[in-house]
Structure 1
């Protein structure tokens, strides 16, 4: 399993980005593509959707009004990465541990943490970008 090459697209920074990312992954990794098992594909779609939605909600678009979404199938793992522009104080990996139980939102990174083998945040102050990536076992 796995073609190992990265696939990357610019998605519009807006509400359509999450569904577009999930659609791309479903086509590439679902029954017509790599044919991941249903449970593995569902996990990939949840994590990718959450990372993209976080970039839309908390990041800023590039000068072209986009966020970058990348993925690859690497052996029995799928890696996803979302890059946005940022001008804020930054993001802490520990933010996943801070949420309000009564809030309607705010549990997404906890799901990413549970579903993924690992995930990471890399901020580049020189370029003003934030990359959030996750690796999921699909084999």
Structure 2
């Protein structure tokens, strides 16, 4: 899956926050990163609100999103190099100071980069990806890996960095387990061809569901005010 960097210029106003949150959720749906959408939206809210509060409403800014390895990187650019975000130990009763504390709580890391004419406040979220262009492992993949480990006595190699030989060995183990299950179906009087057809149908439906999720996100974005 290709996850190309994107950016969006905006004016730092409270009314913009909700729209930026929707755009973030839309893109994460397209990228297959639904599971971290809530955390990403929270980071967008806090980074943008930080500009509104400490730089000022009406500030021209940019939201930039990209992949840094297997981490999702979120950046907010603004022109003020003096107002630096600070991580405060805000008390429970405090009305402010929680913004970067929330970012710090959900992000793997965050920081600030300064150049002569702008400031970039960024954070990075763990995605659960095994490789930058891979897919997040769902419950079906985790069950399959647990089953392979149980049947073969060896932990299947991760997709990232496994190498051609490692993937070939893992693929052969998968084929062996599938063959064993087909023998089990035949011995118990089941229709092997019917079982294969049903499995293929279910697999195709689950893949279609991923695409439909992104389509629904696009539809929601275009319909919401």
Tell me the TM-score normalised to structure 1 length: 0.78
- Does the CA-based 8 Å contact 1:60-1:86 persist in structure 2? no
Aligned residues: 128
> Secondary structure of 1:26's match?
helix
Name the structure 2 match of 1:68.
Answer: 62
Deviation for aligned residue 1:6? 1.8
Pick from 114, 117, 120: which aligns with 2:111?
A: 120
Name the Cα RMSD after superposition: 2.2
- Segments of 5+ residues of structure 2 without an aligned counterpart are 129-225
> Quick check: which one's helix share is greater?
2
| 1:60-96: CA deviation from partner (whole Å, max 9, x where unpaired) | 478xx521110024453211000112164x426xx21
> Secondary structure of 1:53's match?
helix
> Secondary structure of 1:29's match?
helix
Name the structure 2 match of 1:36.
Answer: 33
Name the structure 1 match of 2:12.
Answer: 13
Deviation for aligned residue 1:22? 0.9
Deviation for aligned residue 1:16? 2.1
Pick from 28, 52, 55: which aligns with 1:56?
A: 52
- Cα 1:2/1:96, change in 2 over 3 Å: farther
- Cα 1:75/1:86, change in 2 over 3 Å: closer
CA distance in 1, matches of 2:81, 2:73: 26
Name the structure 2 match of 1:46.
Answer: 42
CA distance in 2, matches of 1:50, 1:105: 11
Pick from 101, 121, 126: which aligns with 1:132?
A: 121
- Does the CA-based 8 Å contact 1:61-1:84 persist in structure 2? no
Pick from 75, 84, 92: which aligns with 1:81?
A: 75
Name the structure, 1 or 2, with higher relative contact order (CA <8 Å, separation 6+). 1
- Cα 1:86/1:74, change in 2 over 3 Å: closer
- Segments of 5+ residues of structure 1 without an aligned counterpart are none
